[in-house]
C-alpha cells in the first residue's frame, strides 16, 4: 500500500543498499487463526489500529507492504513536528525492553551502538526523505483481541516528514516486518481489501492476518499467482506481469519490459493508447494524476477503454475507477497511472481498490479476487 512515488523511491534506495540480513521468520507461541482490523483511508495511504505495551497504548499507523520496519514515536520525542499527540512512553510499560547490539534484528538496519546501554540505535530513511530514528526495542503488540509478545520495533525519538498516523507498519518479507514476526501464529498469511481511497472513510476497508474465510481462490474472477523471489531484493513482492491490453488490444510490449527498472517504457505505451482511444485534447502543464496525462473536459465513462493486466496464470480486468479519474465538477479527466521516479513497474494501492488480495507466504502465492470491499 503506501504512496506510490514514495514506495518506488524506497524500493530503489533499499535495492542500492543491497540488504542481505534476511532470516526465517520466528514462530510465536500464541495461536490465532484470524485477526481482523479495519483500515482507515488517508491521503493516498491506509492506516491500521493497533496497540503497544502493557498496559496497551493504541495508535493508528500507516500500512506499507514495501518496507519491513514497524515503528512508533516514543517519548522523549525530541523531533516529532508532524506527528499527532499519540506518543508511546516506554517507562509506562512493564513489557518494554531495548534490544542490544548483539540482537539479530539490529543487523537488519543501519545502526550504531549506544556505548552506555549497549542499545541498538537505528536510523531508517524512506524514499521521500522522511526519516525515523531511535532504539530498536521489543514490546507486546495487540491486534484486535490478540496479543503477541516480544515483537521487535523501532521506538522512534526523532521522526520527521510524516503527516498521518503515529508510525508505520511494514509488511514485506523482511525479518522485522509484522507478518514475518507473527509467523506461524497466523500461518504466514495476510490479506486486505481496499475501498474508499479518496473518501477517507473508516471501516469499509480491512486487513486480516491469517486465513480469510470471506473469499477463497475459487471465488469468481480469482487469479492465483506465484510470488517471485528477486535475489537482488528478496524482501519485496514480485509477480509475473507479462502484458497489458487497452480497449481489448494487447500493447506491443515485450514481457521483459516489465522487469525491474523498465516501468517508464510501459507507462509511455499505455498513455499513448489512451490518447488514441479517447481522442480529446491533452491538458498541458502540471496535473494531479501523477502520470501527467489529463484530458481537457469531462470524459464520458462509456468512452474510457478497458485496462487488462495479463499474468501467466490469468488476466485481471481492472475496474475503471482503479485507473481513470473522472471529476464531474472539474475541467480535467486523468489517467491514474504514475510514472515512478526509478522506472519500476508497481501495482499500487489505487489499482488495488475493490480487489481482495491474499498473500500466502508459506506457499509463495498471491491471489487477486474482484470484490466490493465495503460489503465484505
The β-bridge relationship of strands 120-125 and 131-143 is antiparallel
CB atoms within 10 A of CB 135: 20
Do the beta carbons of residue 194 and residue 208 sit within 8 Å?
no
Please, which residues bridge with residue 159 across strands? Answer: 132
Annotated active-site residue 315? The verdict is: no
Give the burial string for 329-361 (b: 16+ CB within 10 Å, else e): eeebbbbbbbbbbbbbbbbbbbbbbbbbbbbbb
Do the beta carbons of residue 70 and residue 170 sit within 8 Å?
yes
Task: Please work out, in degrees rounded to the nearest 5, the angle formed at the alpha carbon of residue 350 by the alpha carbons of 347 and 351.
Answer: 45
Backbone angles phi, psi at 334, to 5 degrees: -130, 145
The whole-angstrom separation of Cα 224 and Cα 167 is 32
| Active-site residue, from 64, 68, 235, 360 | 64
Return the active site residues.
64
Amino acid at each position: 500500500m503506501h504512496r506510490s512515488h514514495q514506495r518506488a523511491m524506497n524500493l530503489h534506495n533499499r535495492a542500492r543498499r543491497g540488504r542481505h540480513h534476511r532470516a526465517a521468520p520466528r514462530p510465536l507461541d500464541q495461536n490465532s487463526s484470524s485477526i481482523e482490523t479495519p483500515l482507515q483511508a488517508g491521503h493516498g495511504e491506509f492506516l491500521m489500529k493497533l496497540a503497544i505495551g502493557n498496559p496497551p497504548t493504541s495508535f493508528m499507523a500507516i500500512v506499507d507492504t514495501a518496507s519491513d520496519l514497524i515503528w512508533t514515536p516514543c517519548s522523549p520525542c525530541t523531533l516529532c513536528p508532524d506527528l499527532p499527540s499519540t506518543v508511546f512512553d516506554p517507562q509506562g510499560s512493564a513489557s518494554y525492553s531495548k534490544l542490544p547490539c548483539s540482537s539479530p534484528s539490529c543487523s537488519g538496519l543501519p545502526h550504531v551502538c549506544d556505548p552506555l546501554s549497549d542499545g541498538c540505535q537505528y536510523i531508517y530513511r524512506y524514499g521521500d526523505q522522511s526519516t525515523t530514528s531511535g532504539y530498536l526495542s521489543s514490546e507486546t503488540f495487540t491486534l484486535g483481541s490478540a496479543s503477541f509478545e516480544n515483537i521487535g520495533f523501532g521506538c522512534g525519538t526523532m521522526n520527521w516528514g510524516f503527516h498521518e498516523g503515529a508510525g508505520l507498519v511494514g509488511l514485506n518479507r523482511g525479518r522485522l516486518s509484522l507478518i514475518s514476526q507473527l509467523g506461524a501464529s497466523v500461518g504466514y498469511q495476510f490479506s486486505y481489501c481496499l475501498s474508499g481511497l479518496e473518501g477517507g472513510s473508516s471501516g469499509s476497508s480491512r486487513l486480516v492476518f491469517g486465513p480469510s474465510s470471506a473469499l477463497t481462490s475459487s471465488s469468481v474472477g480469482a487469479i492465483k499467482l506465484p510470488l517471485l523471489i528477486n535475489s537482488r531484493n528478496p524482501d519485496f513482492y514480485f509477480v509475473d506481469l507479462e502484458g497489458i491490453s487497452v480497449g481489448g488490444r494487447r500493447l506491443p510490449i515485450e514481457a521483459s519490459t516489465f522487469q525491474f527498472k523498465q516501468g517508464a517504457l510501459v507507462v509511455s505505451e499505455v498513455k499513448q493508447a489512451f490518447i488514441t482511444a479517447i481522442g480529446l485534447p491533452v491538458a498541458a502543464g502540471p496535473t494531479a494524476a501523477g502520470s501527467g496525462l489529463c484530458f481537457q473536459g469531462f470524459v464520458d465513462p462509456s468512452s474510457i477503454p478497458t485496462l487488462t493486466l495479463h499474468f501467466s496464470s490469468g488476466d485481471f480486468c481492472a475496474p475503471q475507477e482503479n485507473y481513470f479519474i473522472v471529476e464531474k465538477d472539474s475541467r480535467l479527466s486523468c489517467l491514474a497511472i504514475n510514472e515512478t521516479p526509478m522506472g519500476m513497474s508497481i501495482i499500487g494501492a489505487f489499482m488495488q481498490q475493490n480487489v481482495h488480495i491474499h498473500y500466502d507466504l508459506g506457499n509463495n502465492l498471491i491471489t487477486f479476487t474482484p470484490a466490493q470491499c465495503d460489503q465484505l
